[in-house]
A and B are shown apart, each in its own frame.
Chain A
Amino acid sequence: DAGVIQSPRHEVTEMGQEVTLRCKPISGHNSLFWYRQTMMRGLELLIYFNNNVPIDDSGMPEDRFSAKMPNASFSTLKIQPSEPRDSAVYFCASSLDSTGTSGGVFGPGTRLTVL
């Protein structure tokens, strides 16, 4: 099993640019989570999907952030326009647990730097 796959692993962009982060969950997992980790705020849940449907997006910081899950094997997190304060490590996680109580198996993360 390849685990959760995220791309790109590193992204450096300039303020105002659109950023798209990608995630392939573990096959068979029906829950998917997007997290953001910074030194200041720690690890925060941004959005949680179950069976491709967004269940809780209360952690999405503002309208510049959007997430989609068009099918069971792919999800994107988009930031448009990006700002320097969006610099963080973004993790995707997936889980067999449909209740969302276990947090999931984490991917390696995408390290985003917005200049």
Chain B
Amino acid sequence: QKEVEQDPGPLSVPEGAIVSLNCTYSNSAFQYFMWYRQYSRKGPELLMYTYSSGNKEDGRFTAQVDKSSKYISLFIRDSQPSDSATYLCAMTAGANSKLTFGKGITLSVRP
């Protein structure tokens, strides 16, 4: 079993839809959870950063962590064509521990 599993996609939704992106993981030591957005031929950019369980909201984006289920989600409300990108989850156990990424899911928001 891979340490971090992410739905491979791709995912296509109409503009205005609510998008749910998910990752599961096997390492119970993971404490820090991140979502990155990567536009085509660009480097990833940090979108959301959370520690331990719970929800974090930033504008149209909500990150959710359920450590008991080893499951994290990113919700995008009122999705826009500009949200079309690849989204990668990432996680680590803590200071100086290896950062492990999911393989990413490509999202397309149709106007």
Contacts and interface: CB of A to CB of B under 8 A. Distances in A.
Given A59-B98, A100-B97, A103-B36, A43 B44 contact: yes
B32 interface: yes
Interface string A25-68: 00000000100000001111100101000011011000000000
A55 B45 CA distance: 23
Interface of B: 32, 34, 36, 42-46, 49, 88, 90, 92, 94-104
A43 B34 CA distance: 14
Category for how many chain A residues contact B? 20 to 34
Nearest to A102: B49
A59 B100 CA distance: 10
B86 to A, nearest CB: 10
A9 B77 CA distance: 35
